[in-house]
Structures are given as structure tokens and as C-alpha cells.
Amino acid sequence: MSGLRDILTSRIAQTGPMSIADYMTTCLMHPEHGYYSTRDPFGAQGDFITAPEISQMFGELLGLCLAQSWLDQGAPKPFTLAELGPGRGTLMADILRATARVPGFHDAARIHLVEASPTLRQMQAETLKGHAPEWHDTVTALPDAPLFLVANEFFDALPIRQFIRDGDGWAERVIGLADGELAFGRTDALPLSELDDRLEDTKDGDLVETCTPAQTIMAHIGAMIGAHGGAALIIDYGDWRSLGDTFQALQAQKKVSPLDNPGNADLTAHVDFEALARSCAPAVHSRLTPQGVFLERLGITPRAQALAAKLSGDALETHIAAHRRLTHPDEMGLLFKVIGITPDASTTPPGLEP
């Protein structure tokens, strides 16, 4: 029995159906029962495994990409080296190891982590011992300085809302009760000016998703990079312009219904990169690039070969599988995408195109 199910059920009974966004926020971040607040969900034994947990090569290449971008922008000092949603801290640790020999980079870097979960903050502190990171609840707390930032599988955890086209209006998909159990429902249709542009590419019954927090966060990052310089690398699964229901729950690396086990399954939605790109002014965005293409351009194959030379047996097999998993179009290579945010088109980070 999930304590969170009772909390959600009685709240809906008192105040009516809740948006998917409210449901996601409560399930992921409830202080006592929230999915991220209470556990370490990553790794082979966890509910899901992310790119930095698959191989150190991912963080190394992102680190070198950021460092090159920092050099290209005149090696500003000091600068903010930030990560959003650092999980176990593995990605930042790999970035720091790979950049240790970039002259001046570590001296100039101030490490800032945006993380909501106290449990994960503790793990990050352990992983990043010796680097003195500072933690924040939101991006708005980042200092005014050149900003070099990574976010891997962060935006997919932000709360979305879903709307179903109905004539010239939109019905919101909500979570209510049916026979005392959590159940999807929908509101009456209303016109929604923020979805006016979607009247052009949808028909009755189509579902679109919005994620206002993602746009707000991106607007802040864009403003910082526009004002102080820097680069942001956003990596996530998703596409250019959302269409259809991508709200999903993962438990023990299997898809389950998002309503089945509130607080005990990871909830995500695909990232709408067009909405992010539209929010980054005055900074500019690169072309949306498949993760596999990006990592190949940064040299993952020679790096994989160099590491392979020191491995044999099971370790070698695992390493080869990891390379494939990160880059192959049938694995993460195509589903995951990268977008870069910089002050202007001349500063597009290595591996990406303006």
C-alpha cells in the first residue's frame, strides 16, 4: 500500500481532479513519499539507467565539449560550472576528471548544482568530495557569471500538462477518481491562447503536452548566457514539437501505468525541444542533434578504442555494449537528442551546428 495513494485520493475527493503536472510533482517530490525525495533510482539495480551511469565516456566528452566552448569564449574567470538534476553526481565527476588538464579550467570553475532531492544531494556530496559544490533549489539562484551548464534527463522529469483538441478548444486531461481509485478524466473544452499555434497542426482528439516550468528554466538560462556568455548542453529524450501522450512510468526498468504505484515509479514525459528553443532568447540554440551523432562527432569511437585497449573479458564486453547503447540508432543514439544554447551562432559548441 502506498501512503501517497491515500494522500492523493483524499486530496482529489476534497478539491477535485488534479492536473498531470500536480500529480507528477507530488509523486516525484513529496517530501516524505516522493520518488526522488526518498531513494536513489539509478543504475542496473534501479528503475532506470542514464547515460552517465552507462559509461564514463559520456561525461568525459561533455566535459571536453564544455571546456572547448569555455576556451573559445576567451576562458572567462571565474565562471559557473552548473548541472541541473545531477542524480548520483556521476556526470559532474566525469566532467571534472576529463577537464583536470585543461589549463585554468578548474581554477576558474565554481560548481553549482540544482537539485531538489535531499537524498540525492547527499549522494552528490559524496561523489564530488573535494570539489566544494554549492546546491540550489532553482536556476534563479545561480550567480551572475558566465554559465557553462549541462542537464541530462532533467527536463523530462518536469511536470507537464496534457490537452486534448476539441473543436477550437482544449480539454485538459486530469486525474480524478473512479470507484475510489485514481483514474484519468478530462475537463470541459476551453479556448487556450497559449495553444493557438497548435490549432494549425492538430485535429480533433489529438493530444498535446505543455511544460511551463521547462520554458521558465530555459528562459532564465538563456538570459544568463545572453548577458554573461557561456553554453548549455541539454540532453534528453524527445523531439521537435510534442504530439501525443508521452507521459510514462518506469519501475524496475519496465513500463507501468503512471497511476499504478504513485511515489514508487519514475514519471517522465518527452521533452519538447521546440518549446525550449523558443524560450532561450536572447541566447540562441543549435540544431537539435541526435545523441549518437553528437557523441561520434566528439570522438567517442577513438575514446572507446583507447579504453578498450586496457580491458579484456567481461569488462571489455560491457564496455563495447555501453558504446553501442549510447550511440546506436536502435538504442539511445536516436531517441535522445542534444541542443546547445550559446550567446550567438559563432559560439555553437563542438559537435553541434548553428
- The binding site for ligand SAH (CB under 6 A) comprises 36, 42, 50, 52-53, 85-87, 91, 114-117, 120, 152-154, 157-158
If one counts every other C-beta atom within 10 angstroms of the C-beta of residue 202, the result is 17
Cβ proximity to ligand SAH: between 164 and 211 the closer is: 211
Nearest to 341 by CA among 329, 354, 328: 354
For the CB of residue 41, give the shortest distance to ligand SAH in the complex, in Å.
Answer: 7
Return the number of the residue (91 or 109) whose C-beta is nearest ligand SAH: 91
Q: How far is the CB of 192 from ligand SAH (least distance, A)?
A: 24
β-bridge partners, 114: 84, 136
SS (H, E, C) 115-180: CCCHHHHHHHHHHCCCCCCEEECCHHHCCCCCEEEEEECCHHHCCCEEEEEECCEEEEEEEEEECC
Q: Min. distance of Cβ 277 from ligand SAH in angstroms?
A: 20
Query: Closest approach of Cβ 115 to ligand SAH, in Å?
Result: 5
Q: Are 175 and 183 in contact (CB under 8 A)?
A: yes
**CB closer to ligand SAH, 66 vs 171:** 66
The beta strands (E) that lie in 298-350 are given as 336-342
Question: Nearer to ligand SAH by C-beta: 83 or 172?
Answer: 83
Q: Residue 323 CB, nearest distance to ligand SAH (Å)?
A: 17
Q: Where on the phi/psi map is residue 63: left (φ > 0), alpha (ψ -120 to 50), or beta?
A: alpha
CA distance 202 to 6: 37
- Whichever of 164 and 235 has its CB closer to ligand SAH, that residue is 235
